Amino acid sequence: MSSSAAGTSALDLTDPTTFVRNDPHAFWAEVRDRRPVFWHEAREGRPGFWVVSRHADVVNAYTDAAGLSSARGTVLDVLLRGDDSAGGRMLAVTDRPRHRDLRNLMQRAFSPRVLGEVAERVNRRADELIRRVTLAGEFDFATEVAEHIPMGTICDLLSIPPADRPDLLRWNKSALSSEEADADPYAALEARNEILLYFSDLAARRRAEPGDDVISMIATATVDGEPLSLDDVALNCYSLVLGGDESSRVTAICAVKAFADFPDQWRAVRDGEVAVDSAVEEVLRWATPALHFARTATTELELGGQRVRAGDIVTLWNISANFDDREFDTPRSFRVARTPNKHVSFGRGPHFCLGAYLGRAELRALLTALVATVSRIELAGSPTRVYSNFLNGHSTLPVAFSAR
Ligand code: HEM
């Protein structure tokens, strides 16, 4: 690969520190212009992979589920190490036709009644948290607010008994290693096993005595005429934690950081000049919590003028698509009134985020609570970036709110 073309061989997209040390937007703008689909060379014994950068190509790739499979894994790191052990069993890493059946089943868990109740509780939770911190002077928005919203929401969705929640939260914190450069991988693995055992045990109890809740529903339903194994019920319950916790958390952090960075945009939302729902979409685009998702080609296919071979890994870079000026007017500006706003933060096609409604409800609750309580949002120190080539955002955000 030529290094003159867009410097595209200079940056290692497998390195979690790449975009902490380099400006991602300058890099991706050049890639989109000069090598919109390029082959990232194999490094240190790990295979090479395709990099897809333009909005239109990323959307096409997300929607081509027949040519691009999710079953070997959908995160680059996992694919470079081998296959995802949950492949064919957990919704996000399953292909049609089983994916469709499993998704229909999981989708039923998100009925309007369940979602309505969960959203009501999110509103109350966000309101209480924001009222409390607004009186606190300087505080870390990540630990005081953002951390409490998504897991509370998922626990409500799954009707996790209140007494079990502290354990689940503790395991989940150790299972996530992206916030610490020196996290212990064995402790993380052990915590993940604890979570799976917990869900498997809960699923067994709810299968024996079903209630009117999401886990009972998944535990008693059939896919292809067969009930799911308890391990698979557990895996799919855990997938809601995996899908919904970190992504929502970094997006909430990004929302507050963006409002501190662009006070005129905050004032437009606060003063009701721009609808909260419009601001939510711009926050989602600006945050792009998942930098990429990945697929494996099932057959030879053409993508952005390149010939992809069966078995090749293909990475779809949301962080590039969401800032593509072929799709967005002045993409590097944070504009809460932006319309249209066809960001790919929730993906597209058959694997489109199952929790998009809830993710949006959480952000809407946060912004509504801020509007009700807060006049000014100011940074009170330097935020800490997450080291990851998958999760985008910050793990701490020192701020101060002034009350309205
Ligand atoms: C801001 C918040 C969120 C963002 C940015 C986000 C992003 C995404 C993206 C990009 C995908 C597509 C992955 C792919 O195509 O391979 C996805 C799938 C998924 N998300 Fe989310 N997500 C969010 C919140 C949630 C929440 C709250 C939940 C659960 C309560 C959730 C559960 C899932 C699940 C289960 C899938 C797999 C769907 C499938 O394969 O059919 N997500 N999410």
CA distance readout (Å), 385 to 39, 129, 395: 27, 23, 6
| Residue listed under structure tokens 């809960």 | 202
**Using CA atoms, how far apart are residues 380 and 397, in angstroms rounded to an integer?**
8
What Rg value do the Cα atoms of the chain yield, rounded?
21
* Number of CB atoms found within 10 A of residue 298's CB: 16
Atom of ligand 1 lying closest to residue 110 CA = 30
Torsion of CA 242, 248, 251, 252, to 10 degrees: -140
The pLDDT score that the predictor gives to residue 3 is 38
The closest of 156, 212, 113, 115 to 220, measured between CA atoms, is: 212
| Residue type for position 279 | A
Beta strand ranges found along 344-387 (DSSP E) = 374-379, 384-385
Q: Is 79 in the pocket of ligand 1 (CB under 6 A)?
A: no
Q: Is 290 in the pocket of ligand 1 (CB under 6 A)?
A: yes
Atom of ligand 1 lying closest to residue 358 CA = 27
| Residue type for position 330 | T
- For ligand 1, atom 27, which residue shows the shortest CA distance? 244
Q: Is 355 in the pocket of ligand 1 (CB under 6 A)?
A: yes
The pLDDT score that the predictor gives to residue 211 is 87
Q: Is 316 in the pocket of ligand 1 (CB under 6 A)?
A: no
* Number of CB atoms found within 10 A of residue 362's CB: 28
Q: Following DSSP, what letter does each residue of 274-342 receive, concatenated? A: S-HHHHHHHHHHHH-SBSEEEEEESS-EEETTEEEPTT-EEEEEHHHHTT-TTTSSSTTS--TT-SS--
Q: Is 288 in the pocket of ligand 1 (CB under 6 A)?
A: no
Give me ligand 1 centre to Cα 353, in Å: 4
The closest of 47, 305, 22, 307 to 10, measured between CA atoms, is: 22
Atom of ligand 1 lying closest to residue 318 CA = 10
Q: Ligand 1, residues 64, 353, 358: which to mutate, most atoms within 8 A of Cβ?
A: 353
- Domains of the chain listed by start with CATH number: 1-95+291-344 (1.10.630.10), 96-288+350-404 (1.10.630.10)
Angle at which helix 263-270 crosses helix 276-287, to 10 degrees, equals 150
Give me ligand 1 centre to Cα 10, in Å: 31
Asked if 361 and 122 touch (Cβ cutoff 8 Å), the reply is: yes
**Using CA atoms, how far apart are residues 158 and 113, in angstroms rounded to an integer?**
13
Q: Ligand 1, residues 111, 354, 360, 390: which to mutate, most atoms within 8 A of Cβ?
A: 354
Give me ligand 1 centre to Cα 92, in Å: 8
**Using CA atoms, how far apart are residues 282 and 291, in angstroms rounded to an integer?**
16
Q: Is 87 in the pocket of ligand 1 (CB under 6 A)?
A: no
Q: Is 69 in the pocket of ligand 1 (CB under 6 A)?
A: no
Give me ligand 1 centre to Cα 247, in Å: 8
Give me ligand 1 centre to Cα 325, in Å: 25
Q: Is 296 in the pocket of ligand 1 (CB under 6 A)?
A: no
**Using CA atoms, how far apart are residues 226 and 224, in angstroms rounded to an integer?**
6
* pLDDT tens, per residue, the chain with 404 residues: 333 344 555 789 999 888 888 889 999 999 999 999 999 999 888 899 999 999 999 999 999 999 999 999 999 999 998 888 899 999 999 999 999 999 999 998 888 888 999 999 999 999 999 999 998 899 999 999 999 999 999 999 999 999 999 999 889 888 875 555 566 778 888 989 999 999 999 999 999 999 888 899 999 999 888 999 999 999 999 999 988 899 999 999 999 999 999 999 999 999 999 999 999 999 999 999 999 999 999 999 999 999 999 999 999 999 999 999 999 999 999 999 999 999 999 999 999 999 999 999 999 999 999 999 999 999 999 999 998 899 999 999 999 999 99
Give me ligand 1 centre to Cα 117, in Å: 20
Atom of ligand 1 lying closest to residue 289 CA = 5
* CA 93, chain centre distance (Å): 15
The closest of 200, 152, 142 to 172, measured between CA atoms, is: 152
- For ligand 1, atom 43, which residue shows the shortest CA distance? 353
**Using CA atoms, how far apart are residues 393 and 383, in angstroms rounded to an integer?**
10
Give me ligand 1 centre to Cα 359, in Å: 9
Residues in the chain: 404
